[in-house]
Amino acid sequence: MADEATITPEGASALARWAGLRETLPAERLAEIFEGVQQVIERLYSVDVEGFEADFLQPDTRAR
């Protein structure tokens, strides 16, 4: 049984069909791509945005 976080080739094919994408790549390659996208999204959600907001919502005094 595959790890729940792993996207199987069958799951990748189903996801591509659901999203309306043409399956021009082998299912194994689609699974690798979707797995990479999932990892990027997980990293983005784990970023602490509090520091980002403090940096970018405040006026930049260096520009003066």
Domain count, the chain: 1
Asked whether residue 12 is domain-assigned, the answer is: no
Written as six digits, the tokens of 31 are 């699974």
Asked whether residue 41 is domain-assigned, the answer is: yes
Asked whether residue 53 is domain-assigned, the answer is: yes
Cα-Cα-Cα-Cα dihedral of 6, 11, 12, 15, to 10°?
A: -120
In this predicted structure, what is the pLDDT of residue 26?
93
| Number of Cβ within a 10 Å radius of residue 30 | 21
Written as six digits, the tokens of 61 are 């005094």
- Residue bearing tokens 């689609």: 30
Indicate the residue type of 61.
T
pLDDT in tens, the chain (64 residues): 345 668 899 999 999 999 998 888 999 999 999 999 988 888 888 876 666 555 556 666 555 5
Asked whether residue 47 is domain-assigned, the answer is: yes
Domain range for residue 40?
A: 27-57
